[in-house]
Amino acid sequence: MKNPAKLIFQRELHIRDGRTIRSVADAIALLREHEARPGVDARDEVLHRLERAHNEQEIQHAAEAFLVWAKELDLLLPTHEAAHQRA
């Protein structure tokens, strides 16, 4: 895999705790901080997909899986709140 810090997401994701996810490295760090909850979410699968992505298509699919995971756990700020925080 290329350097995860250099794999920048097309759109920044604003997390409720105030962080901004800009890269694959940011996403991996957030996933690693979350406690695994067996049978409840796909954290480990998403983490492994991001860590093992080797080409653009795999990276894209892994990033999409991360977005779904973050939405399922309600980690993302709604767009209007994210815009308000930046102002």
For residues 68 and 62, what is the distance between their CA atoms, to the nearest angstrom?
Answer: 10
Looking only at the bridges linking them, the beta strands covering 20-23 and 8-14 are antiparallel
Tell me: pLDDT of 3 over 90: no
Please state the domain extents for the chain: 4-86
Q: What is the pTM of this model?
A: 0.81
50-65 residue pLDDT tens: 999 988 899 999 999 9
